[in-house]
Structures are given as structure tokens and as C-alpha cells.
Structure 1
Amino acid sequence: MAVAALAATTVTAGVASAAPTDRSDHGDRGRLVSAQLTGTLDSKEAVATALTAAEYDAAAVRYGVDTYRLEYRTVDPQGRPTTASGLLVLPRGGEHELRTVSFTHGTASYRGDAPSTTARPGFVTSPALTYASAGFAAVAPDYLGLGTGPGTHPWMDVPSETTASLDMLRAARAFVPRTGRTLGHDVLVTGFSQGASAALGLARALQAGDDRWFHLRALAPVSGGYAFREAELPALLDGSLEPKSSALYAAYLLVAWNRLHHLYDSPGEVFQAPYDRTVEALFDGSHTGPELFAGTPGTVGELLTPRALAMLRHPTGRFAAALRVADATCDWAPRAPVRLYAAEADEQAADANTDHCEAALRAHGADPEVVDLGTPDFAGSRHLGSNVAATADIVRWFTALG
């Protein structure tokens, strides 16, 4: 993203009168700590140029945008106080009261690749730019342990993705009045890949009334791993998915979930040499994507021990319990309109994931629409291409919902 203007001034959160969120039911969660203006694209032409350069559709662009990094209070997976960060993008025009789009991003392991801190603007930030330039307030949480948040990232931990996303909405509502605007009650929820599960978790929390201000208006997850036990792990292990991506996802899952659920005592139990000495450190948030690629093998078989392969094929104990939580994201009935977006023969998120989610939603009485994106391509990836193609369709749908 070519940024027309940058600002380095950090604004410390002010008094309660500047933060209207009612905290009577969630304590300190969502309290704004700081807000920083990180960039401006001052015209719709500038946004269109940035989106086109990132290979995103610019047809919905109506306004220039301002981008902000928000830091806010939230809780960690154990419910302890912590902080997180996220990206807020606001249109430079349009209504005084803005409708909000929450976009939850796909997998990242390097904290500098999060929406609010990425040094490579483009693919990660383009969905938020798309929604904001169409007239929405776009809110994109970094999640825990990414961006400027402390600690390591609990990958695919839907409960903490949900709390971080909800608290980011609260922080955005606290900040937006400083720009002369307000956020309305409706939230249109979308997310890609890892963020598709996060989007479902956030939507469920909104419908359940976990926040007194925000309400779920629509839900549009894209290319999610909704059924790890029944769909994603079997495809990862049988070679149906792209081998290098499978090795990276398997490593991330075991390292992140061991920190949360204690799946193994020693890395050598699950990772073959020499990776048993190096893989855990690669997922500490300080290693870039190229470093991660260089430090991992090309296949799951080269990475994992027989014990780890057996664990993934036949989950038991703590691992099985954690999978039940992750795989329950579609086990409810949204009362708002739902679209599930997926590409054909996705090389990273097995197609069966969407089938399982659709079936679960229908079993609970919902009526989701499944949108087949065909075979979109971005940098040789249908998975990444699905985010580009879906964003173009979702912004039109959200706009039409009124």
C-alpha cells in the first residue's frame, strides 16, 4: 500500500467521557490504551491505486481513508488481563454514524505481519481498505501476541480470537468519536482462513449479547478450517493439500497448542531432528515468514515423529478436547444472513471444511448460502485468491444490506 501521508504521533487514551462503551458487564476489556494515525490515502483515486497494486478489486471505492493502530485492554486464553492491537480504517467522507465491518485476518506468525504493523502493506490490509473506502468503519484485530501485543500468538484458539476481536470493536467505538464520527450498532462480520473461525466466534458472541452496544448484522467467513478433526487434519496427512503449507500448519498447531494445552513434554516427542531443536523458537513472533519457510521441511513426514502423526490421526485427551472447541465454531444458528465463501480445490483449507460448516449450521436451523468462488488465483494460490475474490463480493453484499 502506497501511503500518501504518515504520522508518528501517539495519542494516549483519555478520560471515560471519550470512551462511551458501557463496561458494566466486561470490566476493563476494550479500554483504549493508545491510538496512532499510521497513514492516509486522501482520495478515492489513491485508494484505488493501492488496491489495484495489491491485485484487489477497486470497484467499490468511494472515499479516501485514514488508518490507525489501536492498542487496548483484553484478556489472554486464561482470562488474565493483557493488551492487544489492531487496525482501524475510517473513510474520509460518508455518513456521520458508520456501520462497522470486522475483518479477521488469516494465519500469521511474525508479529510485524499483523494488520496494524505490517511493513508490507497490500494483501493483509487490502480487505480493510476495501470496506473503509466503501463507507464502512473497518476493524481488523491483530489477535493476541501479534502486532504490538505481548507474548506469543495462540494460533487457532477461537475463544481468545473472539475476545480479542470483540474488545477491538469496543476500543474502536471508544476512539471513533475523536474523529468526529460514531459507530452504529450493526456489525458486519467477515474473516479469512484462520480469521473465518474467528469471525464465527465473534458473530456468535455478538448474537449472544456479549456486548450491549454492538449487534450482528451479517456474517461472511471465507475459506476457513472449521473442521480440523474431520476435514483439515485428514487432508493434511493424506497429501491432499500443498505439502509445505501442511508442514507449516502442523508445526504451528502443535507448538501453539502445546503452550495452551500441554500436548508434549519435549519437542523431540513430536518433531524429528534437527527440527526438534529449532521449530518452537520459529513461532515466537520474532521470526519472519522467509525465516519460517527456510527453517522447516517441505513435508509433514519430514517434520513429525510417528508419535505426532498418530496424535494427529487419532486425537485423544487434551488434544481431542481442544479440537472439539475449535471445531464447534459452526455449531449454532445465526439469526443474521450468512454466506460461506470457498474456492474449488483450495490447496490449504480442505473443501470439506465448508461442507462440514454448512451442515452444522443447517442442523441448528440456519440457512447459510454457500458461495463458490471457482478457482481464483493470487501468487499461485487458490487459498489466497479466495480472499481477494470474496472481498470484492462481500463489500457489494454488505453495502446492499443497508
Structure 2
Amino acid sequence: MSGVAPGTPPATTAAGTRRMVGSVLAVLLIVLASACGTSRDDGDPAARRGEVVSVTALSTMTDAETAAYLGERQLETPVRNGVETYRIVYRTVGPLGEETTASGLMVLPRTETERLRVVSYAHGTVVRKDEAPSADGETDRARAIMFAAVGNAAVAPDYLGLGEGPGRHPYAHAPTEASASLDLLRAARDAAADRGRTLESDVYIVGFSQGGQAATALGRELHDNPGTGFRVAALSAISGPYAIREAQTPAALDGGVSPRSAVVYLAYWLTAMNPIYGLYDHPTEAFRQPYADRVESLFDGYHDVLSVGTGLPATPAELLTDRFLAWARQPTGPALRAVTESDGTCEWTTDAPVRLYVSTADRSVAAANTDHCLRSLRGPRVERVDLSPMDHGATGRAGLVQTLAWFDQLVPVG
């Protein structure tokens, strides 16, 4: 029986004191570390980039259903498996570095393979939010499914302001095309892991039209920031506006681009860049009447391309004021900053294989864009692929089918 009377605390030894103090300090350190981590995440949008907000299952198709789906959309490409499609809403950053959300499509192959090669597909110009790949944009959803139907995982960013993304779309703004694309890769990696799949770190990047610019922007982002956890495995860019100042805008003003396409491009770009760079205080500074009164509402994300086209004039000279026509040819101040920050997506060096697809008959995106990119993008495996004379939409269809085969030649899936 102990000699300590009931209710008397036991004597505290030196060793016991050290253990008790150590335990208290450990608890305090854990609490402080947790508090610091919470504060950092709350104050720094970059710390939460790629965080999944929600994942919504969209469809599941067998291999036969997948083949029929692609065939209905004139995509006669190989089908080795069925697919599952998902919409991911995730955290990213806006044009000014502010926290925002964006949405994108993830397509997983219905196979037993746990580790998956990933293809990032960047879509072309759309004006309505619900035309994005994860919404009702069946054309671009089918193109992502095409890559998953041969065993890849495929992701397709909607870009900011499209799909489920809030606000207006910053059209052809390369910095946010890159950040939204990268952050979808991060979100998809986590979403796929929750479904028992692992996305490889080597990314096969492809994009058409606006997506050509977005694809090269993502490639440069991964090259310039090796700590992202992703690397460029191969890059295919099809008919992209890589040189807004040196190629696309001059062609839009001089007839190299069809006038109707030029009008939509110029109006979309100016109204998208104005909130970021402050190009004008009132639309009448940039646009002639009666278009000044309606041009911004046409690009609110809820008008289709037919409504946009009928609401605008036939030529750039009828659309823009004399001051803005001159500014388009010789940009200065905020206009120069706007084009400079989105040009340059080809100004990097890579050992990865790169193909730039182009048709000299394209009247929507000038072939001079590709010439400019070829002079800027340095690497032993960078090549130009000339498509036969065809219109802009046809370059997308032809280039994507060729890219699918090329990616499979580089490293066959499975």
C-alpha cells in the first residue's frame, strides 16, 4: 500500500516536469502552425490555386456509345474504351491576381489502368458561357472525349468567365488562359485521385484557334515554372493568334482576315481587355454609334454568335473610331501593355516535340501568326505542319485528328 495519503498529489520528478513542459510546447507549436497556415491561405489566393470546389458527374458511355457519339460529330477516330465525363469547379486567379473560380471538363477512360497519361485540350473562341466544354459545348466536349477514347485522361479548361466561371470572359488574355489551364490540371489530379486514378506529370498539350494561344501559354508556364509538378511532354497548336500586335491585328485591319471575323475579334478583344487595362472610359471613345451603345452587352456571355454578328457592322472601319483604328495599328500606353502581356506565348525554348499546324487559306486567324511563332519558339523538335488550303474551322478538325495520331506515335497509350 502506498504511503501517500488519499487526496495528496504525487511528488513531481524532474523527468516528469520535462515531459509535461515538452507536451505543452508541442501542443502550442501545433496550434501556432495551424493558425499561421490558415492565415496564409486566407490572405494569398495563390495558396489555394487548383483547389477543388466541386465535381459533378456528367455522363458515362460504353465504347460503342462513345464511338457513336464521336461519329455523330464527324470525328471518325479510334475508340478503345468508354469514358466518364465530369465538370470540375476549382479555385484559380483572375487577371489582377484576385481569387476567383473557374470550371473545366475532365474525361477519364473506362479502363483498368490506374496511371493515366493526360492531354490538356484548349478550345477556340466561344461567346456564350454555356458553349464551354463543361457546359453545353458539345463540339469541344467531343474533342476532349476523342483523346480519352484511346486511353488518355483529358482535361479542357472553360477559361475564366465561361462555363460556371463568374464575370466576363477575358478573351485572348494569355496570362489567365495559362493560369486557368494549369489550375485545372491541379484540380483534375486531385479529382482523379479520389476516383483511384493517377495523372502523370508529363502533359500532352493541344489547342485550336484561341486555344492555340492558350496551349502555347500553358507550355511556357510549365517551362518557366518547373515547380508546378507538371512538364510539357508534347505540344500541338493549331491556327492560333500567337502575335496579336505583329500579325493578327494588322491582318484584321488590312483584309488578311475576313471583315466579319475581324469585327467580332476586335470588338470581343477590346471589351474584354478594357476592365483589365482601362483602354477607354466610355464605349463611345472606342466604338462608333450605334454600336457603342450595345457592344459591351453583346459580349456579356449570354448572346450567341449570330446575335453578336447581327449587332455589329460589316467592317472594322465602321466599328472603331478613328482614334482606336490608329491605336490598333500603333498601340501605346495601356493598349501596348495589353498586347505585350498576351503576345510572347511562343518566346521560350523547349526540348519537347512541338507541331504548329496552319493553313494559308485561313481567313479567321492569319497564317502570319504561325510564322511569328516559329521564329520565337526555339527547340530542335519544333516544326510547322502545313495543312491543305482550308477554312479556319476545317483546320481545327484536321489538326486535332492528326494530333491524336501524333501523340499516340510519340508514346502509345497502354
Instruction: Specify the alignment match of 1:28 in structure 2.
Output: 48
- Contact 1:94/1:135 (<8 A) preserved: no
Report the Cα offset of residue 25 of structure 1: 11
Checking the alignment, whether the CA contact within 8 Å between 1:342 and 1:373 is kept in structure 2 is yes
Cα pair distance change 1:390/1:161, threshold 3 Å:
same
Amino acid at match of 1:173: R
Residue-pair matches, total: 369
Q: Output aligned runs, 1:265-284, within 5 Å.
A: 265-284=281-300
Higher helix share: 2
Q: What is the match of residue 302 of structure 1? A: 318
In the alignment, is the contact (CA less than 8 A) between 1:69 and 1:87 conserved in 2?
Answer: yes
Q: Which residue of 2 aligns with 1:128?
A: 144
Q: Which residue of the other structure, out of 284, 291, 308, is the alignment partner of 1:292?
A: 308
Offset, 1:155: 0.8
Cα contact 1:30–1:169 (8 A) shared by 2:
yes
Aligned mates of 1:94, 1:196 — CA distance in 2: 32
The residue correspondences of 1:133-212 to structure 2 (distance < 5 A) are 133-212=149-228
Q: CA deviation at 1:94?
A: 5.4
Amino acid at match of 2:354: V
5+ residue gaps, structure 2: 1-40
Give the RMSD, CA atoms, in angstroms: 1.7
- Runs of 4+ residues over 3 Å off in structure 1: 23-26, 209-212
> Are the equivalent residues in 2 in contact too, given 1:361–1:367 (CA < 8 A)?
no
The residue number in structure 1 matching 2:407 is 398
1:334 aligns with 2:353: no
Aligned twin of 1:13: none
- Given that 2:45 and 2:99 are in contact with CA atoms closer than 8 Å, whether structure 1 keeps it comes out as no
The residue correspondences of 1:3-402 to structure 2 (distance < 5 A) are 26-43=46-63, 45-58=64-77, 60-93=78-111, 95-118=113-136, 120-121=137-138, 123-362=139-378, 365-376=379-390, 382-402=391-411
**SS of 1:106 mapped into structure 2:** coil
Deviation of the 1:331 alpha carbon: 0.9
**C-alpha deviation, 1:245, in angstroms:** 0.9
Moved more, 88-97 or 214-223: 88-97
Q: Which moved more, 1:145-154 or 1:282-291?
A: 282-291
Deviations 1:66-91 (A, max 9, x none): 11100001010111111000011111
Report deviation, 1:38: 0.8
In structure 1, C-alpha distance between the alignment counterparts of 2:389 and 2:399, rounded to whole Å: 12
Alignment-mate amino acid for residue 34 of structure 1: S
After TM superposition, give the deviation of residue 63 of structure 1 in Å. 1.1
- Distance in 1, matches of 2:129 and 2:375, equals 35
Structure-1-length-normalised TM-score: 0.88
The amino acid of 2:192's aligned partner reads: V
The change in CA–CA distance for 1:209 and 1:94 in structure 2 (over 3 A counts) is farther
Unaligned residue ranges in structure 1 (runs of 5+): 1-22, 377-381
Write the letter of the residue equivalent to 1:174: D
**Secondary structure of 2:143's match?**
helix
Determine helix, strand or coil for the equivalent of 1:297: coil
Q: Distance in 1 between matches of 2:337 and 2:47?
A: 29
TM-superposition CA deviations, 1:244-299 (whole Å, max 9, x none) = 11100010111111111011111111111111000011111122222212211222
2:9 aligned partner? none
Q: 1:335-388 CA distances to partner (integer Å, 9 max, x unpaired)?
A: 2111111123111110111001001114xx554111111134xxxxx1111111
Looking at structure 2, the residues matched to 221 and 323 of structure 1 have their Cα atoms a distance apart, in angstroms, of 20
| Contact residue 190 and residue 221 of structure 1 kept, 8 A | yes
What is the TM-score when the length of structure 2 is the normalising length?
A: 0.86
Q: Which amino acid aligns with 1:369?
A: E
